[in-house]
Amino acid sequence: MSANKEIVRRLVNGVWADRNLAIVDELIAPDYVGHDPTQPEPIQGPEGYKQFVGMYQAAFEDGMVTIDDEIAEGDLVVTRWTGRGTHTGELMGIAPTGKEVTVSGITISRLANGK
């Protein structure tokens, strides 16, 4: 497995399986910019990433993201993932429903200097 794929796996598993947001400081660069269609503005730096993940963790206390597939080429890693959880907290103004939710997506990460 490529080093870049390992970094992305460490981030996903650290944040979701281990609930370790401290790993974000280790693996997300200070100049990180994340684009997510659910967010009106780009996610900026490690603190912005922690806030973004924290919002979903608060809304889905049992939330988990699993990596279904990864492809690496040069400085890019493409990750196909599935997120699952029970909607137990407010999310972007939506009251908790108590329903199980499954969502899938693809994230393209560009890595530099191990971050």
Supply the pLDDT for residue 75.
Answer: 96
Q: How many residues does the chain have?
A: 115
At 78, the amino acid letter reads V
φ, ψ for residue 42 (rounded to 5)? -60, 150
At 76, the amino acid letter reads L
Taking 80 as the threshold, does the pLDDT of residue 109 lie above it? yes
Question: Exposed, middle or buried: residue 8 (CB in 10 Å: 0-12, 13-18, 19+)?
Answer: buried
* The pairing of beta strand 33-34 with beta strand 100-110: unpaired
Supply the pLDDT for residue 63.
Answer: 97
- What's the rounded mean pLDDT across residues 42-59? 97
Supply the pLDDT for residue 60.
Answer: 98
Supply the pLDDT for residue 1.
Answer: 75
- What's the rounded mean pLDDT across residues 22-39? 96
- What's the rounded mean pLDDT across residues 87-113? 97
Whole-number Å distance between alpha carbons of 108 and 86: 26
Question: For a pLDDT cut of 70, what percent of the chain falls above it?
Answer: 100
- What's the rounded mean pLDDT across residues 25-51? 96
Could you tell me if 46 and 62 are in contact, meaning their C-beta atoms sit under 8 angstroms apart? no
Could you tell me if 53 and 21 are in contact, meaning their C-beta atoms sit under 8 angstroms apart? yes
Supply the pLDDT for residue 55.
Answer: 97
